């Protein structure tokens, strides 16, 4: 069960795990014949692999080594691993693999690799070599991972930028028309991964709907690749591996599924009012799921330190208060229903004002909840009338 929870977390937040860290004895300086490249790895079939991966290759065949450094790696043997991840306190680290081993691992997965050789002079290459060696020590190896602001691509970007005599990142004073984090990750959840897009939209908060500078786009490996490709930082681009994977089949759209659920909820509500029969079992399942997801949202907002899950207006339509509306677990108060109805109305208003972007599948879910809360209220009124 723990492994299932961790896999779900990995998929949602894009973490990666590689082989055991290799400790090597490296020279103090690079030779004049050394080179440094940026490696951009293609998408995989799983959602957390769809964003690709960024790594830094340092090649110095004159001194007998060719290494690839990866950020965004965690250790499965970390004590209290699952609790630390849930709280946002799990340490991530840098690891190093031989170039041949790195290539072989992606070849086995059928994923592409593109190499961009960086236009760095000897002093700049040595600066980056020193910095990465320093980062790959016991004192500095660990850091707090953040998918949007501190991942494999942003760490490589910042390390390279720090070591250049002239920064390749141009300052941006006005970025109000730029894209948001949520908009940037949407293309990676195509027709084969629509359910993961819904899951991410549910868990990501308002912070992901603010326009960001174009330099921040580089949290995505392919954006990083594209931005430096158009600069003078890249001297040559080579495809080391072509993509050779079998894509997933298209998934059923959650929009279709939840509109069908809404129609079913409306039919049940109509029958309940006309025939005076009860579909409480439907409400138990619906409100239980909404309440449990609401508890997760509350935890990620108020307890964990995950930056991207704060101030989440999804709480307006997936709330722990739905647990109080469940039949068989206690008589649902009409005042709780009033509160939940008002909350759902606010959620519908948000579709217009867009303080936070909701997934398109949220609309039929909200309307389904409205329909069944209406049925629940009617049930209470009938019982009140009978007692009166």
For 311, list phi and psi in degrees, rounded to 5. 50, 65
pLDDT at 21 over 60: no
Q: Which two tokens stand for residue 80?
A: 């209290």
- 146 and 275 in a common domain: no
How would residue 332 be classed by pLDDT, with cut points 50, 70 and 90? low
pTM of the model: 0.89
Check residues 2 and 247 and name the one with the higher pLDDT. 247
Average pLDDT over residues 117-125: 97
Round to whole Å and give the CA distance between 334 and 5.
36
- 98 and 220 in a common domain: yes
Residue 384: other Cβ atoms inside 10 A: 10
Which of 176-180, 198-202, 383-387 bottoms out in mean pLDDT, i.e. has the lowest?
Answer: 383-387
Which of 123-132, 224-233, 357-366 bottoms out in mean pLDDT, i.e. has the lowest?
Answer: 224-233
- 141 and 223 in a common domain: yes
Check residues 144 and 107 and name the one with the higher pLDDT. 107
Round to whole Å and give the CA distance between 192 and 203.
20
Round to whole Å and give the CA distance between 91 and 85.
9
Whether residue 385 is contained in a domain is answered as no
pLDDT score, position 142: 86
pLDDT score, position 378: 84
Whether residue 197 is contained in a domain is answered as no
- Angle formed by the axes of helices 280-298 and 194-203, nearest 10°: 60
Q: Tokens 């279709």 sit at which residue?
A: 256
- 258 and 236 in a common domain: no
- 314 and 271 in a common domain: yes
The most distant pair of C-alpha atoms in the chain lies apart, rounded to whole Å, by 93
Computed on alpha carbons and rounded to an integer, the radius of gyration of the chain in Å comes to 25
- 285 and 366 in a common domain: yes
Whether residue 200 is contained in a domain is answered as no
> Which domain range does residue 19 map to?
2-172+213-241
Q: Tokens 């079913």 sit at which residue?
A: 264
Whether residue 192 is contained in a domain is answered as no
For 246, list phi and psi in degrees, rounded to 5. -90, 115
Whether residue 180 is contained in a domain is answered as no
Round to whole Å and give the CA distance between 171 and 245.
38
* Tally of domains within the chain: 2
2: closest CA among 73, 86, 75?
A: 86
- 222 and 340 in a common domain: no
Whether residue 186 is contained in a domain is answered as no
Whether residue 198 is contained in a domain is answered as no
pLDDT at 1 over 70: no
- 259 and 219 in a common domain: no
How would residue 24 be classed by pLDDT, with cut points 50, 70 and 90? low
pLDDT at 8 over 50: no
- 162 and 15 in a common domain: yes
Round to whole Å and give the CA distance between 323 and 290.
8
Strands (E), the chain: 35-41, 53-60, 65-73, 91-98, 113-118, 142-144, 234-241
Read off the DSSP letter of residue 180.
B
pLDDT score, position 331: 61
Whether residue 165 is contained in a domain is answered as yes
- 339 and 280 in a common domain: yes
- 9 and 123 in a common domain: yes
pLDDT score, position 221: 96
Reported as a single tens digit per residue, the pLDDT across 164-182 is 998 888 888 899 899 999 9
- 218 and 297 in a common domain: no
């Amino acid at each position: 069960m723990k492994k299932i929870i961790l896999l779900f977390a990995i998929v949602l937040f894009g973490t990666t795990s590689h082989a055991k860290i290799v400790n090597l004895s490296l020279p103090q300086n690079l030779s004049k014949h050394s080179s440094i490249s940026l490696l951009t790895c293609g998408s995989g079939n799983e959602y957390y692999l769809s964003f690709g991966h960024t790594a830094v290759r340092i090649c110095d065949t004159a001194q007998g080594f060719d290494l690839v450094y990866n950020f965004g790696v965690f250790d499965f043997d970390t004590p209290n691993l699952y609790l630390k991840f849930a709280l946002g306190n799990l340490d991530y680290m840098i690891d190093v693999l031989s170039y041949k081993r790195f290539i072989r691992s992606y070849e086995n997965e059928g994923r592409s690799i593109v190499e961009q050789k960086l236009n760095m002079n000897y002093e700049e290459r040595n600066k980056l070599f020193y910095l990465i060696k320093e980062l790959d020590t016991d004192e500095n190896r660990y850091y707090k991972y953040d998918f949007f602001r501190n991942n494999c691509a942003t760490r490589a970007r910042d390390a390279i930028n720090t070591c250049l005599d002239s920064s390749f990142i141009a300052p941006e004073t006005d970025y109000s028309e730029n894209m948001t984090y949520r908009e940037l990750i949407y293309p990676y959840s195509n027709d084969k991964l629509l359910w993961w897009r819904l899951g991410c939209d549910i868990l990501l908060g308002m912070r992901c709907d603010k326009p960001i500078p174009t330099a921040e786009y580089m949290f995505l490996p392919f954006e990083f690749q594209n931005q430096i490709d158009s600069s003078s930082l890249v001297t040559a681009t080579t495809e080391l591996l072509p993509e050779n994977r079998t894509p997933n089949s298209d998934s059923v759209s959650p929009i279709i599924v939840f509109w069908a659920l809404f129609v079913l909820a409306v039919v049940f509500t109509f029958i309940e009012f006309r025939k005076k029969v009860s579909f409480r079992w439907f409400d138990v399942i619906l409100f239980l799921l909404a309440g449990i997801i609401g508890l997760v949202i509350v935890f990620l907002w108020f307890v964990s330190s995950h930056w991207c899950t704060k101030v989440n207006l999804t709480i307006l339509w997936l709330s722990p208060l739905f647990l109080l509306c469940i039949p068989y677990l206690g008589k649902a108060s009409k005042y709780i229903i009033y509160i939940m109805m008002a909350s759902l109305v606010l959620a519908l208003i948000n579709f217009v004002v867009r303080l936070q972007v909701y997934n398109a599948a949220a609309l039929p879910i909200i309307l389904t909840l409205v329909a069944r809360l209406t049925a629940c209220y009617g049930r209470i009124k009938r019982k009140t009338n009978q007692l009166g």
